[in-house]
Structure 1
Amino acid sequence: MAEQETTALAPRLAEAIRDKLIAGELKPGQRLSEAALSAGLDVSRNSLREAFRLLTKEGLLRHEPNRGVFVSTPSMASIIDIYRVRRMIECRALANAYPNHPAVARMRVAVESARAARDRKDWGVVGSDNMAFHAAIVDLADSRRLSDFYAQIAAELRLSFGLLHDPELLHAPYVELNAGILSMLEAGDPQAAAAALDAYLMQSERTVLAAFSRMDAKG
């Protein structure tokens, strides 16, 4: 019975840890403490280890024998692949979106929250709002499978952001770009919104890869 409960609980724990990655609460290369996480999530270590196994299989965590479990560090190749997948999923979802879809309201909330966070220079919150904005875009497709898959992509994306040391450069330009994409959609032109998003993602990818290259050159 205990083993069945552990197996049943593990996916929910994995989702909770994935949410922490998306929120930027866990950083690339960080060693995870079983004791702290099991206490914080109020679960047994056995259940937590099963969740670790699932996230390791997804590539979000890595296990090092005799050392423990660590948050994965994205490579340049994985960043390129993440953006390729984002363009395929997000631009298609946006191009076929209904302007009055419930997810559009979540996009609006994310934009307004990001603007407020930008004004107080809280770049961590701006980053989280940006993630929420793009998750809402995927939700426009009305596919639970796509939304679940995107959660993994979003976690990997936030890890790549965590490698960079200039969050203002990374996030500030995209607050108003998000607002512009939202305005196009609300005005009933999802095709224009999708084209703007495609250009936006190209720009974002170049920014992340350039910063990654500078970091790599410095060792």
Structure 2
Amino acid sequence: MPMNEALQGIADGGHAAHAHTGAWVAGVLRARISAGQLPPGSKLSEQKLSEALGVSRNTLREAFTVLAGESVVQRIPNRGVYVAAPGPDDVREIYRVRRLIEPAAVLWGDIDEAALTGLEAIMAKAQAARTAASVQGMADANQDLHKALVALSGSFSLNDLMEKVLAEMRLVFHAMGPTPDFHSHYVDRNVALVAQLRAGQRDEAAAGLRRYLEDSEQELLVHLGAAPSPGR
């Protein structure tokens, strides 16, 4: 998506009561990155973002500091601030977090009929995207599913953490754009996971999800030309 369109989307979102704070601006930008609207390498113009969000440049710089600490943006001296392109070490850290929180949410989260229906609706979109050969659609559905899995925990803190992880994951997925099979073959695994949850097979689902995350990490590392993680 062109930068101007992404910024318009930010402006159209309206201001929350706690707008004009660095944390709020960081959240808005993080959500846009997680949605794939600001790809790796995008330069984040202070002037354009300040105008779109109606905030001062100092507030925007506070947001950049927050996002830089999360490895979502990168400050390059004398050039500006850019959306980051995660490397192998970033991928390993992302998956360390994911292997801890996602299987735990599947094991002990609150899985009711509404949650199951929501998960199944996401997978219907994923299957439709695969049929249409839409890499973007499959990536979107994947993000939505894993966000929904963590939401089963009922924890606002874990949801916030997962939002940060998904923003980084979107940047990682961008590197896999020329490899549509990376996304397509995980659709069936996601469908199987949701089916296990529907059947009440939490232990099996959690174990399968951990293997899924290990396989995904290794595939990404190979694509990035990095050595596989030890012991996996």
TM-score interval, normalised by the smaller of the two chains = 0.7 to 0.9
| 1:107 paired residue among 115, 119, 125 | 119
Q: What RMSD over aligned residues (CA atoms) do the two structures have, in Å? A: 2.2
Q: Which runs of 5+ in 2 are unaligned?
A: 1-16, 227-232
**TM-score, normalising length from structure 1?**
0.86
Asked if residue 188 in structure 1 is aligned to residue 184 in structure 2, the reply is no
Map of 1:163 onto structure 2: 175
Alignment of 1:7-86 (within 5 A): 9-86=21-98
Structure 2 equivalent of residue 87 of structure 1: 99
Give, as a single letter, the amino acid of the residue that structure 2 aligns with 1:54: V
TM superposition shift of 1:66:
1.9
Q: More displaced, 124-133 or 160-169?
A: 160-169
Determine which structure has greater relative contact order: mean sequence separation of CA pairs < 8 Å that are 6+ residues apart, divided by chain length.
1
Shift of residue 104, structure 1, vs aligned partner: 3.2
Q: Against the structure 1 CA distance between its residues 6 and 62, is the aligned structure 2 distance closer, same or farther, given a 3 Å change threshold?
A: farther
8 Å Cα contact 1:99-1:187 kept in structure 2: no
Give the counterpart letter for 1:93 in structure 2: A
> Matches of 1:128 and 1:165 in 2, distance apart?
13
1:170/1:37 Cα in 2 relative to 1: closer, same or farther (>3 Å)?
A: farther
Alpha-carbon contact 1:103-1:139 (below 8 Å) kept: no
> Partners of 1:9 and 1:109 in 2: how far apart?
35
Q: Secondary structure at the match of 1:62?
A: strand
Q: Retained in 2: the 8 A contact 1:92–1:194?
A: yes
Equivalent position amino acid for 2:181 in 1: L
Alpha-carbon offset, residue 191 of structure 1: 1.0
Does the residue aligned with 1:63 lie in a helix, a strand or coil? strand
Please give the secondary structure, in 1, of the residue aligned with 2:39.
Answer: coil
Alpha carbons of structure 1 residues 43 and 102: separation in structure 2 relative to 1, 3 Å: farther
Deviation track 1:40-89 (CA, whole Å, cap 9, x = no partner) reads 44544443232222211222112122211011221211211211211111
Residue 178 in 1 paired to residue 178 in 2? Answer: no
Q: CA 1:41–1:120 in structure 2 vs 1: closer, same or farther (change >3 Å)? A: farther
Distance 2:147 2:219 in 1: 20
Contact 2:110 2:154 in 1 (8 A): no
Q: CA deviation at 1:179?
A: 1.0
Residue 8 of structure 2 corresponds to none
**Counterpart-to-counterpart distance in 2, 1:110 and 1:212:** 28
TM-score by length of 2: 0.82
Q: C-alpha displacement at 1:207, in angstroms?
A: 1.4
Shift of 1:8: 5.1
Evaluate the alpha carbon distance shift between residue 109 and residue 43 of structure 1 in structure 2; reply closer, same or farther with a 3 A threshold.
Answer: farther
Q: Distance in 2 between matches of 1:177 and 1:97?
A: 20
Q: Is the 8 A contact 2:135 2:177 kept in 1?
A: no
- Which residue matches 2:223? 211
CA distance in 2, matches of 1:107, 1:37: 34
Distance across 2 between alignment mates of 1:67 and 1:95:
46
**Structure 1 unmatched runs, 5+:** 215-219
